[in-house]
Amino acid sequence: MIQRFNIDNELVDKFCSVLSLESGLSSNTVTAYRGDIIDFNLWLEEKEIIVSDVSEPLINEYFNHVKKSLKVSTLNRKISSIKKFYLWMVREKYMEINPSTKVKGLKLREKLAFVLTEEQLSHLFSLPNTETNNGLRDRTILELMYASGLRVSELVGLKYTDCLLAEKAVLVWGKGRKERVVPFGEEAFFWIQKYLSHSRPTFLKNKSSTSFFVGRGGGKLTRQFIWKLVRTLAKQIGLENYCTPHTFRHTFATHLLNNGADLRSIQLLLGHTDISTTQIYTKIALDNLKRIYAKHHPRA
């Protein structure tokens, strides 16, 4: 007979280990899934219901309760978390019936990503004071993000040995620890050399660090630092509500496509497993072309 039980830390740890080892999810995704399961369990505790007694209507009730305060993408991730959790519970014979089988996610309203123009990029690049060590490092961060399309987690996780200067490329460990090599151009190469010659040695002093980008005292930069840097600079040119670190990734891909790169090459550069994820950039590029056409064609 299946035992009735509640969620505890040990159970959540086992589930998260499976997500890491079998599904190859990134540590950030696993952390998000862990939080989703814990939030769901707290809600169940308020109703004095244990996890093994959950039914499909109860799961739907939970999502109706939380959806008012969540973006659709966040809600869909929570649905995915709970569905994966119960699938694992049945597989490991903690439960006989999966109550989440018929629970479905919500359709996302298609929203094209914001892409920076070359003029906006130039303004952003000109803002850091490159006469200072901080400014030189910050300019290098912006240049590399645009030159390579790295995710912010990939950028802060970049090791010193991952920068292949002779090849003008970076070795990137993406989602699921998948490895790829991404080239960068002459402009990024120029600023990377300056950063490695001046800022990084000054920050480290007599210390050593495996991290490529470091701050004062030689500490590794955080995702929060990169977000704050981009938002602070974007605010200075009126883009604080649009521009994030991920905007540079969107801009990288869209500018490549606009200048003739094929979709398969962009997929490899971005590290997308499925090319359908990359295809959003064809829509962004087409949308941009339509705007240009409407603005400049005499009979538009």
Choose the catalytic residue: 33, 62, 195, 281.
Answer: 281
DSSP letters of the chain? -PPP----HHHHHHHHHHHHHTS---HHHHHHHHHHHHHHHHHHHHTT--GGG--HHHHHHHHHHHGGGS-HHHHHHHHHHHHHHHHHHHHTTS-SS-TTTT--PPPPPP-PPP---HHHHHHHHHSS-TTSHHHHHHHHHHHHHHHH---HHHHHT-BGGGEEGGGTEEEEE-GGG-EEEEE--HHHHHHHHHIIIIIHHHHHTT---SBSSB-GGGPBP-HHHHHHHHHHHHHHTT-TTT--HHHHHHHHHHHHHHTT--HHHHHHHHT-SSHHHHTHHHHHHHHHHHHHHHHH-TT-
281 is catalytic: yes
Tell me if residue 246 is catalytic: yes
Residue 272 is among the residues annotated as catalytic for this protein? yes
Which of 78, 84, 255, 272 is catalytic? The answer is 272
Of the residues 84, 139, 151, 250, only one is catalytic, namely 151
Please tell me which residue in 78, 83, 249, 250 is annotated as part of the active site.
Answer: 249
Phi, psi for 44 (deg, rounded to 5): -65, -40
Name residue 211's beta-bridge partners.
159
Annotation marks residue 151 as catalytic: yes
Per residue in 95-112, is it b (16+ CB within 10 Å) or e — as a string?
beebbbeebeeeeeeeee
Q: Are 235 and 140 in contact (CB under 8 A)?
A: no
Of the residues 175, 180, 220, 231, only one is catalytic, namely 175
198 a catalytic residue: no
Active centre residues (catalytic): 151, 175, 246, 249, 272, 281
